[in-house]
Amino acid sequence: MGKIILTGDRPTGKLHLGHYVGSLRRRVELQNSGEFEKIFIMIADAQALTDNADNPEKIRQNIIEVALDYLSAGLDPEKVTIFIQSQVPELCELAFYYMNLVSVQRLQRNPTVKQEIQLRGFSEGDEDENQNKKGTPVGFFTYPISQASDITAFKATTVPVGVDQAPMIEQTREIVHKFNSVYGETLVTPEMLLPENAVCMRLPGTDGKAKMSKSLGNCIYLSDTTKEIKKKVNSMFTDPEHLQITDPGHVEGNVVFTYLDAFSTDEHFAKYLPEYENLDAMKEHYRRGGLGDGTCKKFLFNIMEEMLQPIRERRAEYEKNIPEVYEILKKGSEEARRVAGQTLAEVRKAMKIDYFDDAELIAEHTKKYQK
Ligand code: TRP
């Protein structure tokens, strides 16, 4: 059997460069590798609603943004199936059955869920409206189970995600093993596929904070204009001790160099900064002193423009035809339903809850009541 990919994103905002290097760029490569029989990319609106119950409009508005980001990054609807999670109700039914295979205690041990509950400030003790203490929504608490449905519904063998998703894949694998051992071989055990380059796994924000995040205002968006990119690169955090050009500089913790680690190639040097053979030579000069931040930023800007300009152009084309983008999502969702429906039928059969198709069951009960 061929290899199948499923992955996705919560539509809580536009996608930024962190998403691009962490996942989108890789997805495009995987799409073009010809190694996979099928690729499903899911806009996880239902999962996003598990912790955005008071702001559903945000999710509704961002589905198109994420879809535009996917298409402009180079995902090709002829080669991959892009769909919206909530439009595939089969996923909910699967999750409902999987819930019986997972304990509350096991979910409580899921490190990502644990951390996210803290991050979102859900109260672990009593709720109190006046003190704005809200408990954890049940849907949020159980989203790893729903994610197991997302993955298994498509018989995914391969799930490209960031490290933070490792506990989800682990739980999915446990659910698959449990299901198969109780009901017989039905579901496929998925493997996680991590990003290749360590720097790319988590791109810091332009301010040097550990993570690009909308709320910190330190993101570079795929939809940013040339002007915005220039401004953001020029205001990037570098080395606060590198005051004069002649001062020795630090490349560790220097965002410009972290981005160069992630993006620059020897070809970029030949093209834009031929005085250095490669990044090591450039770093060496910066450390020694005598290389100014302006030169480094100019170089990074050139690289980023080269990367982002085709994305921006594709986006502009799709923006001219939004109904077509919704049509792509609709077609993708129909295809996703068809595939998930097949798996669901197999699951029901394995669980022997396909009563009306079960001639043996009907015959057995006929016999039982025959006088
Ligand atoms: N939890 C993922 C995220 O927050 C999104 C997601 C939902 C997902 N279902 C998935 C990723 C299934 C991979 C497979 O990024």
What is the domain-level CATH number for residue 189? Answer: 3.40.50.620
Interval 28-64: pLDDT, tens: 999 999 999 999 999 999 999 999 999 999 999 999 9
**Judgement on whether residues 11 and 137 belong to the same structural domain of the protein:** yes
CA of 44 to the centre of ligand 1 (A): 7
CB < 8 Å & 24+ apart, contacts of 95-100: 95/142, 95/145, 95/146, 95/148, 95/149, 97/347, 97/351, 98/145, 98/148, 98/149, 98/175, 98/179, 99/142, 99/145
**Judgement on whether residues 28 and 50 belong to the same structural domain of the protein:** yes
**Judgement on whether residues 342 and 231 belong to the same structural domain of the protein:** no
Domain presence at residue 371: no
Domain presence at residue 177: yes
**Judgement on whether residues 121 and 183 belong to the same structural domain of the protein:** yes
**Judgement on whether residues 120 and 162 belong to the same structural domain of the protein:** yes
**Judgement on whether residues 30 and 161 belong to the same structural domain of the protein:** yes
Number of domains in the chain: 2
**Judgement on whether residues 194 and 331 belong to the same structural domain of the protein:** yes
Instruction: Return the minimum-mean-pLDDT range out of 38-47, 128-137, 266-275, 359-368.
Output: 128-137
Domain presence at residue 173: yes
For the cut 60, the answer to whether the pLDDT of residue 102 exceeds it is yes
Strand partners, 3: 36
Domain presence at residue 369: no
**Judgement on whether residues 146 and 292 belong to the same structural domain of the protein:** no
CA of 103 to the centre of ligand 1 (A): 21
Instruction: Return the minimum-mean-pLDDT range out of 18-27, 118-127, 309-318, 346-355.
Output: 118-127
**Judgement on whether residues 296 and 339 belong to the same structural domain of the protein:** no
What pLDDT is stored for residue 119 in this prediction?
87
What pLDDT is stored for residue 210 in this prediction?
78
- Please name the amino acid found at residue 276: Y
What pLDDT is stored for residue 198 in this prediction?
59
Name residues contacting ligand 1 (CB within 6 A).
6-10, 44, 47, 147, 150-151, 159, 161, 165
Instruction: Return the minimum-mean-pLDDT range out of 85-94, 117-126, 185-194, 338-347.
Output: 117-126
Strand partners, 82: 41
Interval 299-308: pLDDT, tens: 999 999 999 9
pLDDT, mean of residues 111-115: 92
What pLDDT is stored for residue 55 in this prediction?
94
pLDDT grade for 122, boundaries at 50, 70 and 90: confident
What is the domain-level CATH number for residue 241? Answer: 1.10.240.10
d(CA 306, CA 299): 11
**Judgement on whether residues 167 and 192 belong to the same structural domain of the protein:** yes
| Cα Rg of the chain, angstroms | 24
**Judgement on whether residues 289 and 336 belong to the same structural domain of the protein:** no
Interval 207-256: pLDDT, tens: 988 788 888 889 999 999 999 999 999 999 999 999 899 999 999 999 99
3-state secondary structure of 240: coil
Q: What's the pTM?
A: 0.92
Residue nearest atom 8 in ligand 1 by C-alpha distance: 8
Q: Residues 165, 148: contact at Cβ < 8 Å?
A: no
CA of 299 to the centre of ligand 1 (A): 34
CA of 4 to the centre of ligand 1 (A): 16
Please name which of 155, 47, 182 lies closest in space to residue 101, comparing C-alpha atoms.
Answer: 182
Domain with 281, as residue range(s), is 226-317
Cα angle: 133, vertex 134, 140; to 5 degrees:
150
Domain presence at residue 91: yes
d(CA 140, CA 137): 5
For the cut 60, the answer to whether the pLDDT of residue 344 exceeds it is yes
Ligand 1 atom showing the smallest separation from residue 156 Cα = 14
d(CA 353, CA 23): 38
**Judgement on whether residues 253 and 357 belong to the same structural domain of the protein:** no
pLDDT, mean of residues 97-119: 94
> 67: which 2 tokens?
């879809």
d(CA 360, CA 345): 17
What pLDDT is stored for residue 197 in this prediction?
64
Alpha helices in the chain (DSSP H): 17-19, 25-33, 45-49, 56-73, 90-98, 104-109, 111-119, 138-141, 143-153, 166-183, 198-201, 226-234, 255-263, 266-272, 279-288, 293-319, 322-350, 359-368
d(CA 200, CA 287): 23
Final residue in a domain of this structure, among 279, 294, 317 = 317
